[in-house]
Structures are given as structure tokens and as C-alpha cells.
Structure 1
Amino acid sequence: MLKKSLHIIFFLCFSFVASAQYFDLPDGQKYEKVKFQLVNNVMVIPLEVNGTELSFILDSGVSTPLLFNLTEQDSIQINKVSEVTIRGLGGGEPIAALSSRANMFQLGSVMNPSQELYVVLDESLNFSPSLGIPVHGIIGYDLFRDFIVEINYNAGHIKFHNPELYRNKQHKKSQTLPLAIQNKKAYVEGAVVLNDAKEVPVRMLLDTGSSDAIWLFENDVIGIPDKNYDDFLGRGLAGDIFGKRTKVRSIKIGDFIIEDAKTAFPDQASFSGIKSLGNRNGSLGGEVLKRFNFIFDYGNRKITLRKNANFKTPFQYNLSGIDLQHNGVRYVAESIAGPTGIVKHNESETYGNVQILMENQTRLSLVPEIVVSGIRAGSPAEDAGLQEGDVILAVNGKSVHTYKLQQILQMLNERKGKRIRVLIDRANSDKLFTFILKDVFKEKP
């Protein structure tokens, strides 16, 4: 078991020499193509750690791989362990972790036999419930450093190119921009237009691990637009992050301009654990980045981007005010026979990993339980009476166990003016709530 393995290995780490850690491809191989899942605007890739298959978020904003969401039921070997303290976004204190060296990482034919990683044992750091799929870690800089990384958001794949064998074929509609690498993170220059028509230059972190669109930091030049509302922005390593949700008139990246871009201004307390933001003005997250296909070339300090079919996709706002997450599993009873007792033609369809047939007419399925993890103050959902902890059973008459988490969120936030009916279970009693989605920027008194 993981817990015991860590305990044993910890006492063996007093003498070792750190070896160089690099990812590489087999000799002569030009690239490795890897499929990813795009979940809530972040890329989830399959990755083996010391022979154990795991799922990692590809996050260009992280410097050293993190391993988390591990329980006593998980079994994974990690090597050469010592204790460390790490900091991150959020208002909480720095968290204790384990530093581990000489680990074998493998992604298809991409391999690194001596990878360093951090293991976070705090069970509260777990992105799986909010993403709706198992996620065990985050990886970023090491892969971007060692390859030319081509991300095709449209096709859902990444190519890790051998820099020595790569030949760039510039597309006539693409543009190459300078890329700054500082403290193992990548930055690009851009400009935003806030309340007036004046462009304000900004230096933005490229953060593929953020599901949000744009984050900006308030200063003497960059002010929060008048139309805004308080919102929960996400969770960092050190705790929850809150701030103001708004939109800017436009953001410019090279010659590409995105109008009415969704933007957040995180509270300054969220950055109390970071020594200095330097001249960084904010971040570009997945909801903006997915509008382009990218070629990251860290070695030559440049990035090539070309807009794709997502470029004009409307930005998604939490109109209902409901945040959801998985919370274990529950049983759902379904009739598989019609009024005459004949089994329906689709009786073989299943929605969970466990099914129990009762008298050949009713099936009990074990399915994910979807709960309300948070509600924005003053939102339509709160005004209607929904509460944190409510179990979502159906949205607009559709049973939620047949949908993925992100699909349920889309159903709850389809468009302003839409009437939403939510059936919930509260204290073993079913309740139905109805509300109308409103323009979030008109909610502020």
C-alpha cells in the first residue's frame, strides 16, 4: 500500500546523488502523438509513474510534477523521498509534501527514467470531484522543456517533437511570438482594453492548467471594470481562491483580438504565499487557449499560434450560481420492462460499473452522486432555495446520472432567460426547484 511504501522508502533516502532528469524519445523517432481529454478546458493525459497508470493534467504553469489524490487503496512505488514544504495560490498556509527523485515517467514512447516529483498527502487537494474524472497529478515544465510541443485543441491530441528532428511548416494564418521563460514558467506579451478604448500592455502567464479564461491583477493602471460580481474562482495548492468576475472589452495576443473576454480579478490574499509576481499582470487559461492551436518552443523562446474553430465560441458563465462535484456513488433503480412486462430493447445499456437485476424487470445501477458544492450569494439558485450539499437528481426532467459532470453544468447554465427545473434529494426527501437564468452582470445592486 502507498502509505506503508512511503514510510519504508523515507528511511532509505539519506544517501543518493541526484541524476539529470530529461524526457526523451527513442533514437530516430521524430515525435510521439498523445490523445488528451479536454475536461472543463484543461487537458488530461495518461502517464505512467513507475509502472502505474495514472492521469495527469498538462499544466504549463507548474514547474515540478505533483502527485496527489492518493489513498491507502492506491499502490504506487515512489523513490528516494524527503520532506518539503510547497506554496501555491490560495489563502491558506504552505502545505507539507514529499519530494521524490529517480522515478520512471512514461508517456507512450516518451520516457524519463529519473524524474523528480512532489507528493501531496493532503486529501483536500483533489481535482477529481470537480472535473468528474480521476486525476492523480499535474505535470508541465519538464515536458515543455524537453520537446517542441504541438497542441491541437480541435483534434484533441498533442505531439511531442524531437527538437533536433523538427521542421516547422509555418501556416499562412499562424503567427509566431516571443516567449519568455522565467522560473520554469512561460509568459507572452499582450494588451487588454478595459472600460475605455485605451490598450493596456500586459504580461501574461500561459497556464494550460487553468480552466478559466483570463486572470488580471489589479494595479494603478489595471482596474476592475464597473460591471462585476463576487465569485469563487477555483482552488489552489494553498486553498480556495475568490475574486471579482467580470469581462474586458478585448484582449490582444499578437494580431489576434478576442472581444468581450471573460475575466477574473483574484483577491490579493490569494497571492500572499508568493514572494513576488514580478512584472506579471495575469494569466491566460484554458478557456482562451483552447481557441488556438499552439506550437510551444521553449528552447528557442517562441510560440506559434493559429486560431481554430473554437475561436468565436461564447464564453461560459455560471448563470445559475451552482457549483457541482462528484461525491461518491449512489444506487439508481430503473425499470427495464414495459407496461406488459416485456423487457425493453435497450435493457443492456448501463450507466454505472455495478448493476443488479431484480426479478428481471428492475435494475439497480451504481452511479456517481452529483452534489451542490457551492452556491454564489444572490444567484438564481440561492434565491430559489437550493443549498450546498443538495444531491442533484435531474435537470429539466433529465436524470443526471446519464450525463458527464460538465454536461450537467452546461444544462444548468444554458442561456440567460432559460427556465431551469432542478430535482434534488435533501435529507432523503425529493424537492423540485425552479429558477430563471439571469445576466450575471445585471445582478449587482
Structure 2
Amino acid sequence: MKGKPYIKPKFYFTNTGIKEGEILFDSGASVGLLLYKNFLDTTMIPNKLIAGTIGMGLGGPLEGYLGRIQRMEIDWAVEENVITNFQQIDTFTLKNDQSGKQGILGNSIISKFNVLLDFNNQKLYLKRNRFGKKSARIDRSGLFIIASGVNLNEYTVKDIIRNSAAMEAGILPGDKILRINGFSSKNYNLGTLNAKFSKPGKKKVRLKILRNGMKYNISFLLRDII
């Protein structure tokens, strides 16, 4: 469709049944799986959802929900307990989007496979690579951080997930991160920051932040948010 690859996985929901949906196959998207709530029955939405910012778009932060679905099947390729972003699309966008797509499969899942797209025959070939059996790791701090500055290594807290470790520690939107575990934040990029905040176990994070001209030291233990 307009030169873009679409696939039709089967989605298994814990609450009820199975749904097949047409979604965009987009290796440039940072999410793993994004489903539009507009196309789902309310009974398919997981009971446990976390509201907040799920990414950045051209117009700014994308608001939505984070949860898990029981299973996703792309022919033989099966993913269990899939971390899923849920987003409600506004009426204007829905009306003007001629693709009819019901979501996006992004790089966090696609990167588990070697991919061959045969556009002429409209076929997709997948082969699990060395990352294929690794569980998806997501942020465990609750922080949504944006990068700025000439070298994109100045970090500001854009949003915080409610009831997360970072929120309970007292971090606020607008806080600028100066140091992380004793090291200058300029030593990191967004990728290494996300990796640090996604580590398993009870890892302690120590931040020095700047807020309204004052510096504060704040620490917390990483924990699962979903």
C-alpha cells in the first residue's frame, strides 16, 4: 500500500478471543507493538494499563497506554506476553488515513529477525537471529526523557509515569539531569540511558538534577512498571 509493507498478525488477548489486524511493518518505529484502540473491542483492552507518554511524534509527545497482550502470531513466528502500546486515534486522523492500518509493528520486535521483503510478490520472510529469544526490555524508572543541545546530550524529564519509582522519589517534569550514578549525563546518549533504566533486578539509580536553579540528589531502585 503506497510502497509500505503491511502484515496481518493474529493477536490473542487475555480477556477474550483472537483478532486479526492489518498493521504497518515499520523497522524505523521505536515501539515494539502499537495497536489503535479504535479498532479493538473494549473487552480486548488489558485490565492493567499504564497511562502516559509512549513516544514522540512530529507534533510532540504521543499519549497512550502501555500494557501486555497474551500472544502475537505472524505465521510461524510467535511472540508471547507482548509489551504493547495502545493509542486512541482522533477522528480527523482516522478519517484522513486511507491505509486503514490498525497499528504498527516496530523495531523492538522486528530486530529479533533477519527480514526479507519481497514487494513484487507481496511476501515477507522472517528468520530469527541471535536476538530472537531475548525478552523485550522496557524502561523501569518511569522517566520519559528528551535530549537537546548541540550534541543531543542534555537531558530533560518530559514526563513521568504515575506511581513509578521515579515519581515516588520526587522527580518532576522539567528537571534537568546533570549526573547519573556519579557520571556526567553528557557521557550518555538516549540509547545508553534507556539501557541503564531498563536493567533487571533492584538496580539503584542516583541522579543529580537541576530544578529552578537548585541542584538536588535523588536516588531510587528500578522496578517493573507493567
Shift in Å at residue 265 of structure 1?
0.9
| CA distance in 2: counterparts of 1:389 and 1:279, whole angstroms | 37
Per-residue Cα deviation, 1:274-327 (whole angstroms, up to 9, x for no partner): 325665332101111111111112122112111111112221222211122222
Q: Return the index of the structure with the highest Cα Rg.
A: 1
Higher relative contact order (CA 8 A, sep 6+): 2
Q: Which residue of 2 aligns with 1:214?
A: 33
| CA distance in 1: counterparts of 2:47 and 2:148, whole angstroms | 37
2:175 alignment partner, one of 381, 386, 390:
390
| Secondary structure of residue in 2 paired with 1:185 | coil
Per-residue Cα deviation, 1:216-246 (whole angstroms, up to 9, x for no partner): 1232387211121102122333443211100
- Structure 1 residues 434, 239: closer, same or farther in 2, change over 3 A? closer
1:403 alignment partner, one of 188, 195, 202:
188
Do the aligned partners of 2:144 and 2:158 also contact (CA within 8 Å) in 1? yes
1:250 lines up with 2:71 in the alignment: yes
> Where in structure 2 are there 5+ consecutive unaligned residues?
none
| Secondary structure of residue in 2 paired with 1:401 | helix
Q: Which residue of 2 aligns with 1:293?
A: 114
1:186 lines up with 2:5 in the alignment: yes
Q: Which residue of 1 aligns with 2:92?
A: 272
Do the aligned partners of 1:290 and 1:310 also contact (CA within 8 Å) in 2? yes
> Where in structure 1 are there 5+ consecutive unaligned residues?
1-181, 330-351, 353-366
User: What is the CA RMSD across the aligned residues, in angstroms?
Assistant: 2.4
1:227 alignment partner, one of 48, 66, 71:
48
Shift in Å at residue 436 of structure 1?
2.0
The 10-residue stretch of structure 1 (233-242 or 207-216) with the greater mean CA deviation from structure 2: 233-242
1:369 lines up with 2:154 in the alignment: yes
Shift in Å at residue 215 of structure 1?
1.1
| Secondary structure of residue in 2 paired with 1:288 | helix
| CA distance in 1: counterparts of 2:195 and 2:187, whole angstroms | 14
Q: Which residue of 2 aligns with 1:53?
A: none
| CA distance in 1: counterparts of 2:190 and 2:42, whole angstroms | 39
| CA distance in 1: counterparts of 2:145 and 2:61, whole angstroms | 15
Identity %: 26
Normalised by the length of structure 2, the TM-score is 0.87
| CA distance in 1: counterparts of 2:187 and 2:69, whole angstroms | 36
Do the aligned partners of 1:244 and 1:267 also contact (CA within 8 Å) in 2? no
AA of the residue aligned to 1:371? T
1:202 alignment partner, one of 21, 28, 53:
21
2:214 alignment partner, one of 412, 426, 429:
429
- Structure 1 residues 202, 222: closer, same or farther in 2, change over 3 A? farther
Do the aligned partners of 1:395 and 1:412 also contact (CA within 8 Å) in 2? no
Normalised by the length of structure 1, the TM-score is 0.46
| CA distance in 2: counterparts of 1:215 and 1:285, whole angstroms | 8
Do the aligned partners of 2:16 and 2:44 also contact (CA within 8 Å) in 1? no
